[in-house]
């Protein structure tokens, strides 16, 4: 059974979604993300992907109060990401109730810091964020595409202890055009032991069913819920 992980992205303390990571293409869906999280929890959802977009821009944790509010008022298992660059950022995130944190750009820009987090907290608490464009790693809030090939990048981190990966196809994110199923299949063919979390492009319940058929372990999605294309009741069978 595929694991269902709704996403809440935060700017100015509000629940928003961007198109392809573009801050200029922002839609505010709810002034109170805690209300959104409660609605997910009441529907039987267990996991939440919470992204501090202000933190991603500022390069340090910003919306930790939203994280604390969600974890104190729901039983959701929250993975938290966005701008986590220092040991202090991680300390704040975990103190505010995050069960896991996601690091993406830090794994490219400061690999020694990212690897130290795996050693300190354990692989169960650290998720590798792999944002890709044309199968190459993108960093810096998706503004910079590197020449780093996706599969060798993932392989290197799995050898260092990483077990969970969120892979986001930038071209699909927020576009409601369907996920990159072939990309995810290729990853699992090459790296069968990784717990792969697909992200980007989910537009309806059929997309989730196709990911499940492809034996993708988990999926993150947000805009399809906020736009009413997926009803929470439709997700019951995956819970």
Specify the CATH number for the domain of residue 7: 3.20.20.70
Instruction: Give me the catalytic one of 9, 52, 79, 169.
Output: 9
Residue in the block written with tokens 């008022």: 73
Residues of the chain with pLDDT under 50: none
Task: Give residue 143's pLDDT.
Answer: 67
**131 catalytic, yes or no?**
yes
CB 122 within 8 Å of CB 116: no
Distance separating alpha carbons of residues 58 and 187, to the nearest angstrom: 31
Task: Give residue 154's pLDDT.
Answer: 98
Which domain range does residue 23 map to? 3-238
- Give this prediction's pTM: 0.95
Task: Give residue 21's pLDDT.
Answer: 75
Residue in the block written with tokens 């717990």: 195
Instruction: Give me the catalytic one of 52, 54, 131, 207.
Output: 131
Total number of domains in the chain: 1
Closest to 76 in 3D by CA, of 8, 27, 144, 134: 8
Contacts by residues 9-13 (CB-CB < 8 Å, ≥ 24 positions apart): 9/51, 9/53, 9/222, 10/50, 10/51, 10/52, 10/53, 10/54, 10/63, 10/66, 10/82, 11/53, 11/54, 12/54, 13/63, 13/65, 13/66
**186 catalytic, yes or no?**
no
């Amino acid at each position: 059974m595929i694991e269902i992980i709704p996403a809440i992205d935060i700017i100015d303390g509000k629940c928003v979604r961007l198109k392809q990571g573009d801050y200029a293409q922002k839609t505010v869906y709810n002034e109170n993300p805690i209300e959104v999280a409660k609605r997910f929890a009441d529907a039987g959802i267990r996991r939440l992907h919470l992204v501090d977009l202000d933190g991603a821009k500022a390069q340090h944790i910003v919306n930790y109060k939203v994280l604390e509010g969600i974890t104190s008022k729901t039983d959701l298992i929250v993975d938290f990401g966005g701008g986590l660059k220092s040991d202090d950022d991680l300390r704040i995130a975990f103190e505010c109730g995050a069960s896991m944190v996601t690091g993406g750009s830090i794994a490219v820009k400061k690999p020694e810091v990212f690897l130290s987090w795996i050693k300190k907290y354990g692989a169960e608490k650290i998720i590798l964020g792999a944002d890709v464009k044309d199968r190459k790693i993108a960093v810096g809030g998706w503004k910079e595409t590197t020449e780093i090939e996706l599969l060798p990048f993932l392989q290197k981190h799995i050898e260092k202890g990483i077990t969970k990966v969120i892979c986001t196809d930038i071209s699909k994110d927020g576009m409601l055009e369907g996920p990159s199923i072939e990309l995810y299949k290729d990853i699992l063919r090459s790296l069968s032991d990784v717990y792969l979390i697909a992200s980007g492009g989910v537009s309806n319940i059929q997309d989730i069913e196709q990911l499940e058929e492809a034996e993708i372990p988990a999926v993150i999605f947000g805009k399809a819920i906020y736009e009413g294309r997926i009803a929470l009741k439709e997700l019951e069978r995956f819970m």
